[in-house]
Structures are given as C-alpha cells and as structure tokens.
Homo-oligomer: A and B are copies of this chain.
Amino acid sequence: MTIDLRADPIVLTAALVDIPSVSKDEAAIVDTVTRALREQTTGFEVLRCGNSVLARTDRGRDSRVILAGHLDTVPIADNVPGRFETVDGQQTLYGCGSVDMKSGDAVFLHLAATVAEPVCDLTLIMYDCEEIAAEFNGLGRIERELPEWLDGDLAILGEPSGAWIEAGCQGTLRVRLTVRGTRAHTARAWMGDNAIHALGPILQRLREYRPREVDIDGCVYREGLSAVGIDGGVAGNVVPDEASVLVNFRFAPDRSLEQATEHVRQVFSGLDLDFERTDGSPGALPGLTAPAAKNLVEQVHSHGGGGIRAKYGWTDVSRFAARGIPAVNFGPGDPNLAHTVDEHVPTAQITTVADILRGYLTRA
C-alpha cells in the first residue's frame, strides 16, 4: 500500500481510513506510514518503534512542536472502506477512524511533507494501541523507553475537538466509600444494623453537592462528583453488614491529585465510613500562556475558525503536562461521534485544522 502525503489532507484521510488498523493489528498502516515518511519528507530522522513511528527534524530552531496522534481505531463496524457523502450541502467523509483520529493524523503527515521551512523544529509521533487498556498505550511505551522523543515546547494531539483548541484536561479519581453494619436475619431486623440503609447520607451528600466551575487561562473547567457504582447485600433474608459506593471525581487542573482527594474526603466528612482511593490521574493545566502555545492561540483567533475551550475528559495530553510541556487537543471531527458506527467528519474541518497549523508553523 502507498499513500501520498502531499495530496490534500482530505484525500489522505480517506486513504488512511481504508487501511484497517484496529488496536493490536496496526502493522500494515505503520509500514505504510513509515515508508511514506522516509520517502516523501526531507530533514526528518525516522524511527520505527514497535507499531509506532517517530520522526523529527533537527534544524536548530528555538522551539520544538510535537504533533502526536494514534493510528489505531476501535473495531470496524461495517464502516471501512470510507465513503464521501454530501450532508446539508457539506462534503462529509464517513468511516471508522474518520473522526478518531485519522483526519488529525492526515493533517500532521501532510504538514510534515509539505512545510519546507517551519519556524520551529518538529517531532511527529504516530503511536499504537490508544483505544485499549492503558498498559498497551504506545505513547506510554515511548515515554518509558524513548523519553527524549517527548521533549518539546508544545504538544499538539490531533484528537477530535471539532477544530477547536481544547486545552489541558481535567483530572479523575475514584474512591470507594464503604459502610459497615451488623448482620442479622431480616425476621429479626432489629438485632442488626443495616449497612445499605447507612448509604443514605452518602447519597444525600452527592445529591446536594454543587460542582465548581473554574476559569484557567480563559478555559472554563467544570467539575463533577458522580456515583458510578453501588453494591451491597448478602441474601434475600439477611440484613447486610457491608455496602459501598464507588464515586468518580472529575476535577479541574488547578487541584493536584492529593488536593482533589482531600476535597472528596471533606465532602463526606462526619460520616462513619471507610474511604479508599482506588485510582487517580492528575489533570493538566492548559498552559496557554507559554510562548509556543500563545502563538497557536493567536493563529486560531486570526483564522476566525474554531475557538478555545477547556478539555473535560482525561486524554494523553496529561502525559505531556506531567513533563511540564503545554499540550492541547486540536483535530477535526465531533468527539461525540468517535466510536460510533456512524462516525463521520465534515471535510471542511480537516481543511481548517490544516490551514491553522500551516499558519502556525510558517508564521513570520
């Protein structure tokens, strides 16, 4: 298979969609992309690493921008090869990966091949296994094995963001709140102490909780505290002696993971329960005041397309933020269509993202 990196990124997106690349089955697309980078770009060192491919320039520029995207998709649902349709007068590309995230990949590959003299050095990272369990994530493997490839002044992830800059990301943590009681036969319920009944005040606190909204660098983050699981019960005739609620806190990046955990502990203070944090990942500050990021923001504003907003979900941008590198999501496509059978992208968004990034990489 061959792809033409110099073709319109819309055409290149369609070509990438037509190469199936479900997580763990990505050899064909990585072979194709690696060969294209070697044959159709100049000034790049190209490194194949497992099912990821890395490429970077070393032009001695003052700053370095990382363009990163994953090449894998969720399982195909009778939506490969892709097809073009006109929807409400707009050219639209349907197909698995058209949104998440071969359109973003196509823009990055096209720019690597066509921007002859970028104002900064470039690092391109096309990685594998983003759509499955975190342990397989190719970017995580690169972070462990080739950390120097992640150095830079700004990281742009081409995840679908509707051609808006989505900056930073919220943190997430989960706690299990367990209450204990005394087991008894329900025929003599007064001899027991019902642990499920004792969950009432926990749920009451969750109902009363008013999540915070916070503005950081012009991005509004909106927190949320949600029960995501509840469990209790021994048998149909037993007063249960244990019950628990699993709670997920999504928090703005001005709180550290520890501060966020302490906040959740305070929400339930005074209740008799066991508090256990089961997992947690810090958020990422938008970092839009850093010079490399500020230039991108200006480019977006002067282009007139898209805009800038906070990212609510947790994404791979926080891997860069944890290294002190500002990172944003910026790619074509509506993230709500990712992973759907009906996945599709208005091709004008591919052009918008490509135009803004071309302007950013070639600005005076």
Please list the residues of chain A having a beta carbon within 8 angstroms of any beta carbon in chain B. 170, 172, 174, 185-190, 192, 194, 196-197, 199-200, 203-204, 206-207, 211, 222, 224-240, 243, 245-246, 248, 250, 312-314
For the complex, give the distance between the alpha carbons of A314 and B187 in Å: 8
Copies of this chain held together in the complex: 2
CA distance A196 to B227 in the complex (A): 6
Q: Decide if A189 touches B233 in the complex (CB within 8 Å).
A: no
Q: Which of B190, B194, B197, B245 contacts A196 (CB 8 A)?
A: B245
Contacts of A246 in B (CB 8 A): 233, 236
- Nearest CB on B from A286, distance (A): 16
CA–CA, A188 to B166, complex, Å? 15
A207 to B: closest C-beta gap in Å: 5
Closest to A314 in B: B187
A interface majority secondary structure: mixed
- Say whether B206 contacts A203, CB under 8 Å: no
In the bound complex, do residue B187 and residue A313 qualify as a contact, i.e. CB atoms below 8 Å apart?
yes
Q: Assuming A203-B196, A207-B197, A250-B189, is B233 touching A237 (CB within 8 A)?
A: no
In the complex, A313 Cα to B238 Cα: how many Å?
12
Q: Are B172 and A226 in contact (CB under 8 A)?
A: no
B227→A240 contact, CB < 8 A? yes
User: Contacts A203-B199, A236-B174 given: A226-B186 contact, CB under 8 Å?
Assistant: yes
The smallest beta-carbon distance between A185 and chain B, in angstroms, is 7
Contact of A234 with B230 in the complex, beta carbons under 8 Å = no
A231 to chain B, nearest CB (A): 7
A172 to B238, CA, bound (A): 12
CB–CB A204/B204 < 8 A: yes
**Please, could you name 7 A-B residue pairs with CB atoms under 8 Å apart, sorted by A?**
A172-B186, A174-B236, A188-B224, A189-B250, A228-B240, A229-B232, A236-B246
Are A197 and B206 in contact, with the CB atoms below 8 A? yes
User: Shortest Cβ distance from A339 into chain B, in angstroms?
Assistant: 11
Q: Complex: how many Å from CA A313 to CA B314?
A: 52
Q: Are A250 and B186 in contact (CB under 8 A)?
A: yes
A219 vs chain B, min Cβ distance (A): 14
**Cα distance A185–B313 in the bound complex, in angstroms:** 9
Residues of B within 8 A of A187 (CB): 170, 172, 224, 250, 312-314
- Chain B nearest CB from A24 CB (Å) reads 21
Contact A228 B235 (CB under 8 A): yes
Nearest first, the 7 A-B pairs at minimum CB distance are: A229-B233, A189-B224, A200-B203, A196-B227, A187-B313, A187-B312, A230-B232
Q: Is the CB of B229 within 8 A of A236?
A: yes
Most chain-B Cβ atoms within 10 A of its Cβ — which of A199, A239, A240?
A199
Beta-carbon nearest neighbor of A185 in chain B: B313
- The residue in chain B whose Cβ has the minimal distance to the Cβ of A238 is B228
Instruction: Determine which residue in A228, A235, A313 has the highest number of CB atoms from chain B within 10 A of its CB, and name it.
Output: A228
Given A188-B312, A200-B200, A230-B230, 10 further pairs, Cβ under 8 A: A186-B228, A187-B313, A189-B224, A196-B245, A197-B227, A199-B230, A200-B207, A228-B237, A231-B231, A237-B248
Chain B minimum-CB-distance residue to A278: B236
